[in-house]
């Protein structure tokens, strides 16, 4: 493909039309708004409580990734949304670890060969985060995380060709309601797992510094027994 052909192909896509049509997807818009809002609430509270912590870069990255889900879905680029959806939770996991491992964060930024796996991050919380083992069992967190991560990774890596891709050319990009619904389910589940991760780890530690309205919003929807087990109040 020549540069001229690429330009022509990109112009052939009615990007504005795709966004306009997406405006009619009320259920998807409501889901995106709810997920992005809760991520933003967490982000704001962490920004205030951990001011100056270099690991906050992961919090910002997670929030930006949630916004990219909205953008890519609006353009019908569902496969691209998968990477952003997974990135939200990965960045959340990194934040919960590197916020108290600043020297290792420095190594991460300088050494391309340094890597901390998802399993190592969870193992850290099992060993060092008070109450994590028992509390995560009440939510089925680790099992749900493993299942979800495996499913979204299969999409990101294209293990099943054609998943979340409805076109074979740029000009063929269009919306697909069935695929969009699947994207939203994965997004909502991923955001819920991020929410639970924060509640089980750093959120509990920093809870007293959060604003009352934020506490109320973050506890909304939790069952009474879970709230009691977490030991978090709205005040």
pTM of the model: 0.95
C-alpha 125: how far from chain center: 19
**CB burial string 29-44: b at 16+ within 10 A, e below:** bebbeebbebbebbbe
15-19, 102-106, 165-169: least confidently modelled range: 165-169
Average pLDDT, the chain: 94
pLDDT in tens, 161-215: 889 998 888 888 999 999 999 999 999 999 999 999 999 999 999 999 999 999 9
For residues 189 and 148, the answer to whether their CB atoms sit within 8 Å is: yes
Q: At what angle do helices 26-49 and 212-219 cross, to 10 degrees?
A: 130
Whole-number pLDDT of residue 160: 79
* Band of residue 20 on the pLDDT scale cut at 50, 70, 90: very high
pLDDT in tens, 118-148: 999 999 999 999 999 999 999 999 999 999 9
Instruction: Give the tokens for residue 170.
Output: 């740029």
Extents of the domains making up the chain? 14-215
Query: Is the per-residue pLDDT at 235 higher than 70?
Result: no
pLDDT in tens, 32-65: 999 999 999 999 999 999 999 999 999 999 999 9
CB-CB neighbours of 17 under 10 Å: 11
* Band of residue 152 on the pLDDT scale cut at 50, 70, 90: very high
Q: What percentage of the chain reaches a pLDDT higher than 70?
A: 99
Instruction: Give the tokens for residue 234.
Output: 């709205």
Q: End-to-end distance of the chain based on CA atoms, in angstroms?
A: 61
Which of these, 113, 119, 182, 184, lies nearest to 149 by C-alpha position? 119
CA Rg, the chain, in Å? 19
């Amino acid at each position: 493909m020549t540069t001229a052909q690429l330009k022509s192909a990109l112009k052939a896509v009615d990007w504005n039309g795709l966004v306009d049509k997406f405006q009619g997807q009320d259920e998807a818009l409501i889901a995106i708004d709810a997920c992005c809002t809760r991520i933003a609430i967490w982000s704001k509270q962490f920004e205030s409580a951990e001011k100056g912590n270099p690991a906050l870069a992961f919090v910002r990255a997670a929030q930006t990734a949630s916004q990219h889900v909205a953008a890519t879905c609006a353009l019908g680029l569902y496969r691209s949304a998968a990477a952003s959806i997974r990135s939200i939770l990965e960045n959340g996991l990194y934040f919960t670890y590197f916020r108290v491992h600043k020297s290792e964060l420095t190594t991460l930024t300088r050494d391309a060969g340094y890597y901390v796996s998802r399993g190592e991050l969870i193992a850290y919380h099992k060993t060092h985060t008070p109450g994590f083992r028992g509390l995560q069992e009440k939510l089925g967190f680790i099992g749900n995380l493993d299942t979800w991560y495996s499913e979204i990774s299969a999409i990101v890596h294209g293990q099943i060709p054609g998943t979340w891709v409805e076109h074979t050319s740029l000009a063929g990009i269009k919306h697909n309601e069935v695929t969009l619904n699947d994207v939203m389910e994965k997004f909502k589940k991923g955001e819920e797992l991020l929410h639970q991760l924060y509640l089980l780890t750093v959120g509990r530690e920093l809870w007293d510094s959060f604003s009352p309205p934020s506490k109320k919003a973050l506890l909304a929807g939790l069952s009474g027994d879970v709230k009691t087990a977490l030991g978090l109040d709205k005040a």
